[in-house]
Amino acid sequence: MTHPMITCDDAQLLVSDRLDGTLSDTESAQLDAHLAACAACREVARDLEQIHAAAASLPTLTPSHDLWNGIDARIEAPVVSLESHRRSPIARWSTRQFAAAAAVLMAVTAGGTWFVAVRSEGAPTVPVATSPGPRTELVSVASEKGMAAYEGEIGTLRNIIETRRGELDSATVAVLEKNLKLIDQAISESKAALASDPASTFLADQVSRAYDTKLELLRSAAMLPSRT
């Protein structure tokens, strides 16, 4: 069977169509006939096949740095809702585990440790936590009152975790302690730098962020379900 001759431009378009899997039988026969007679188009076909194959196996790229902090700063502050946790869809968590987690959280809120840090008298602050409750206290992390509020919250959560230590997975506790150590080091260094340069809003902000990170970690740990 013979096929009408096609131009090199048409043939090369058909090469692309063949790579896309959209070539009809007739077009395929026309292309094969052309390639059999045209060395230049055979070379083009070979090159395009190689490019097509290489493109499909290109490696995954990685950003030059962790982008999470920039994202975290742009998304709204966390709202930890008791209702949402009670209704959590994680089927593997038992009702009892949810009740325990909720009880821990309620103990935290009942202790009056929820607060919101907002800008106060020009000192930089970071929203530490928000609660749907009516009571909010305005503190600046750079102030003594702000520091005390953070430390008070941390102490309460520490006590809860310590009480529950036996219920928690030991590997999880080990990871928790390791991360807390790193955060404490960051807090210590940031506070030392802030002491040397008390007017630095950047350093005050760093302290706030470090405390915020620590609080979030402790809150998450305090609400971990037990191993049952």
Partner 1 sequence: MPATPLPVMPTPSLSDDVALAARGDRRAFERLYRAHVDKVFTLCARMVGERARAEDLTQDVFVRAWEKLGQFRGDSAFGTWLHRMAVNVVLNERQAEKRRRERHDDGIEDMDALPHSEVRPLPVPGLSIDLEAAIAGLPPGAKKVFVLHDVEGYTHEEIAGQLGVTAGGCKAQLHRARMLLREALNR
How many angstroms separate the Cα of 65 from the Cα of each of 61, 70, 91, 184, 226?
Answer: 12, 11, 35, 23, 35
Distance, CA of 150 to CA of 170 (rounded, Å): 26
134 touches partner 1 (CB under 8 A): no
Orientation angle between helical segments 170-196 and 201-222, nearest 10 degrees = 160
Binding residues among 86-115 for partner 1 as defined by CB under 8 A: 88-90, 92
Binding residues among 38-77 for partner 1 as defined by CB under 8 A: 44, 47-48, 51-52, 54-65, 67-68, 70-72, 74-76
Q: What are phi and psi of 116, to 5 degrees?
A: -120, 130
What is the H or E stretch that residue 37 is in?
helix 25-37
Binding mask 20-39 for partner 1 (x = CB under 8 A): x-x-----------------
CB 217 within 8 A of CB 180: yes
Q: CB of residue 121 vs partner 1: minimum separation in angstroms?
A: 28
Give the total of residues touching partner 1 (CB under 8 A): 52
Distance, CA of 27 to CA of 21 (rounded, Å): 12
177 touches partner 1 (CB under 8 A): no
| Closest CB to partner 1 among residues 169, 177 | 169
The residue ranges that bind partner 1 (CB under 8 A) are 12-13, 16-17, 19-20, 22, 44, 47-48, 51-52, 54-65, 67-68, 70-72, 74-76, 78-81, 84, 88-90, 92, 168-169, 171-172, 216, 220, 224-228
